Amino acid sequence: MIIASEVRSQIERSSLIRKMFEEGIRMRAERGAENVFDFSLGNPSEDPPAGVIRTFRALAERNAPGSHGYMPNAGFPEARGTVARRLRETTGLEFTPDHVLMTAGCAGAMNAALKAILNPGDEVIVPMPCFPDYAFYISNYGGVMVPVETREDFSLDVGAIAAKIGPRTRAIILNSPHNPSGVIYPEATLRELEAVLAKAPAPVLVLSDEPYTSIVYDGAHCPQLASIISNCMITTSWSKKWGLAGERIGYLAISPLVPDALALAQACAFTGRILGFINAPAIWQLVVAEAPDESTNLAVYQEKRDLMCDGLERAGYEVHRPQGAFYVFLKTPIPDDFEFVRRLQEEGVLAVPGSGFGRKGYMRLSLTVPRDTIIRSLPAFARTLDKLRG
């Protein structure tokens, strides 16, 4: 076959999130959209802020010379300068524009970083459960993913991470607020991890995956990881904060505390280019430079979280209420999460089995649906549980 064997293998193991999303398309055509409750894909439900759209229109109409052409591999200096200034304010570290690369979304940032730091056989520790594409990003560059289980409440087990650090450990990927569990890693835990990393046999970089940091609930605080972990690289995007996931605009920032930080930034600018990302979209870089204080209405996600969790608890589910992000990672009433998700489908509900994130016996529900979808779906959740109980 013309398709590479590794790619064939990866396709077979590919994301259950997309598979369930595609199943939703089929079910809506078959049953009617009003009879399908699709909680599979984390596609932001809120439109971009009005100020962002006004800035976008103004830039397009201004059509300044050079605004649509090639720029330095790392991105427009004005966009990188805006990001660096914000990072100085939030972390207290001396970030400069040279520490920042504008990227094609968070995925582009992470791939550029992993390409720059991994030799074949190098290991990347990933707390489980996790966003499933991490495994593919790591294997893209010959790396080996080393899964480490979190505790029952999805909090980091720093001792378990320490036990997995070896001479080939190159990086750890942390995601807080966490997809899929919604957990926020507290400052005390991060400081404990920093102490462990200080004793590692070789420098270990922490890739902090931060697209959900602006979505927190109940007044929770999400610590600035870069202000705690010395060897840190930040990967993030405006996909969630601005509700424009399809525009693919993000950044990679290398902490000035990382040894040879500027050389690493240059390496990442190079890897982003040879991977084919070349540059982040030019006009959205300029929007970032001119409208940094804008944010979409993120409060609606807490309302939907409470609506969903309260309804599921009333129906008899065991609910772990997320602290941030926009997912509910729900324990399935039977150990076989695939079977329970199949039973939900019979009632028109689409969820993603927790096995796809590396944690059996759970399922992920996205809160990026209309409020009315949650309300109308709750009887279907209850019926599924009632049928199971007989």
CB-based contact 324:312 (threshold 8 Å) = no
Cα distances from 52 to residues 47, 152, 244, 245, 286, in angstroms, run: 10, 40, 10, 14, 11
pLDDT tens-digit profile of 338-371?
Answer: 999 999 999 999 999 999 999 999 999 999 999 9
Cβ distance 131 to 177 under 8 Å?
no
Angle ∠(84,85,91) on CA atoms, nearest 5:
80
Residue ranges of the alpha helices (H) in the chain?
A: 5-12, 16-31, 50-62, 77-91, 105-117, 133-139, 158-164, 187-198, 261-274, 282-290, 299-315, 337-346, 371-389
Query: What's the CA angle centered on 198, arms 197 and 200, to 5 degrees?
Result: 60
Task: Look up tokens 């439109």; give the residue.
Answer: 47
pLDDT score of 14 more than 80 = no
Span of 29-43, 200-214, 250-264 with lowest mean pLDDT: 29-43
- φ, ψ of residue 376 in degrees (nearest 5): -75, -20
pLDDT at 35: 81
Q: How confident is the model at residue 76 (pLDDT cuts 50, 70, 90)?
A: very high
Q: How many CB atoms lie under 10 A from the CB of residue 64?
A: 8
Q: CB-based contacts of 106: which residues, under 8 Å, 6+ apart? A: 209, 210, 211, 235, 236, 237, 239, 250
At 9 the pLDDT is 76
Domain ranges across the chain: 5-48+297-389, 67-290
List, edge to edge, every strand of the sheet that includes 144-149: 100-103, 250-254, 232-237, 205-209, 169-175, 123-128, 144-149
Angle between helices 105-117 and 261-274 (to 10 degrees): 110
Say whether pLDDT at 202 is over 80: yes
How many other C-beta atoms are found inside a 10 Å radius of the C-beta of residue 159?
10
**Averaged over 195-207, what is the pLDDT?**
95
Q: Are 284 and 245 in contact (CB under 8 A)?
A: no
pLDDT of residue 390: 74
Residue with tokens 């507290």: 186
Which tens digits make up the pLDDT trace of 84-116?
999 999 999 999 999 999 999 999 999 999 999
CATH for 67-290? Answer: 3.40.640.10
Whether domain 5-48+297-389 has CATH 3.40.718.10: no
* Residues 275-315 pLDDT 10s: 998 899 999 999 999 987 888 888 899 999 999 999 999 99
DSSP-derived 3-state class of residue 152 = coil
